[in-house]
Chain A
Amino acid sequence: MWAYEKRLQFPVKIKKTCPKTAQLIISQYGGPDGELSASMRYLAQRYTMPVKKVGGLLTDIGTEEINHMEIICAMVYQLTRDLTPEDAKTAGFDAYYIDHTKALWPQAAAGIPFTSIEFQSKGDPFADLFEDLAAEQKARTVYDNLLRVIEDPDVRTPLKFLRAREIVHFQRFSEALEMTKNQLGQNNFYYFNAEFDRNHYKPEEHC
């Protein structure tokens, strides 16, 4: 289960209203490589992982991604908190305003609603871990792109933190891959699917 802690993992204190910036960073809330997608991906994959410690890592990183979703939401909220009717006409934010006013709603920067089609839970440890490694790289690229175009230091500071986390998570997933290879230990990693072929692999024997 999860227990709420009444603070952000990284502080967000944005002084300047900017609906245009909100419109861009909302992608990391509900976009294809966003934090909601990341947390749902890892928390969905963990149940059937053949290596128990990898299931544990997916739980911990999936939990941290929820923290990151909250940071992004706080940023969107603070960027639009004092929105005036005139601000609401800002190109890019006007369509969002019509449907959601100042409320938070998970969507990509281009307006596509959050969808689980953006991530995969495949049921094969190698397919899923490579998906996770790729996900961290894609999210890192989004943060690079945001940092190139956003100048407000109050916005850049948490974005730089979030970008750094993608690289740390990439390292951890790469270590999870090594642990998985080590446990399944053989030359042909594709001889069976450790999440399905119980005649070849019994997870309970590796607890």
Chain B
Amino acid sequence: MSLDNCCTSPGTLAMASFTMQKWCGLYDWDTALKEGTIFKELNLPIFFADKGSSNLNTNSPVSDTAQQEREKLMSKISAVSFAINDLTLYLDTHPDCPDGTPLFYQLSKERMDLLAEYADKYNPLTQLSMVTANLNDNNFAWADGPMPWEGGCV
């Protein structure tokens, strides 16, 4: 299906017409997670949005460097994974995009490595990362680590 053909005539009665998004400027992945989209053009906040927000990583005291390292790696995983989420929805409706497709592969590879690193240093977040991190196959580590909804230790 050619995307160029997707915008049907805006003059059609009894049917809505929308604009297909074109590839546009992207945020860096940390900003994208904070804003809720990788696409600058799709970031449309309400006028009172900035009344207050918290830093995404305000959890641990500055003195706890081990915990800070752990949170830093988790933040990287969150940011890269979210970029893939948002990019996937874009590619669902723009499968032939020459910019988005290579980026999808690049980010997915990065994510796989980050998940393996996290499984190796702390605990696995996915079952596949138990294998890519070469964990001890006598230890079922899937239950290790905090549950995601606890908030404190991620």
Interface of B is mostly: loop
**Closest Cβ neighbor of A206 among chain B residues:** B1
> Are A56 and B36 touching (Cβ within 8 A)?
no
> Which of A9, A53, A151, A175 contacts B52 (CB under 8 A)?
A151
> Which of B15, B37, B77, B127 contacts A181 (CB under 8 A)?
B15
- 23 example contacts (A-B, Cβ-Cβ < 8 A) are as follows A6-B126, A7-B125, A8-B149, A10-B78, A11-B75, A13-B152, A14-B151, A57-B89, A60-B89, A64-B89, A74-B151, A147-B48, A151-B51, A152-B52, A153-B54, A165-B37, A167-B42, A172-B89, A175-B18, A176-B93, A179-B1, A181-B15, A190-B14
> Are B52 and A182 touching (Cβ within 8 A)?
no
Residue A23 is within 8 A (CB to CB) of chain B in the complex: no
> Which of B51, B88, B145 contacts A60 (CB under 8 A)?
B88
**Closest Cβ neighbor of B128 among chain A residues:** A3
User: Measured between alpha carbons, how far is A180 from B44 in the docked complex, in Å?
Assistant: 26
> Which of A64, A152, A164, A175 contacts B43 (CB under 8 A)?
A164
Chain B binder among A30-38, A92-100, A154-162, A193-201: A154-162
> Are B36 and A175 touching (Cβ within 8 A)?
no
> Are A13 and B58 touching (Cβ within 8 A)?
yes
List B residues 1-56 near A (Cβ within 8 Å): 1, 5-8, 12, 14-21, 33-37, 39, 42-46, 48-49, 51-54, 56
Residue A40 is within 8 A (CB to CB) of chain B in the complex: no
Contact with A along B114-154 (1 / 0, CB 8 A): 00000000011111000000000000000001011101101
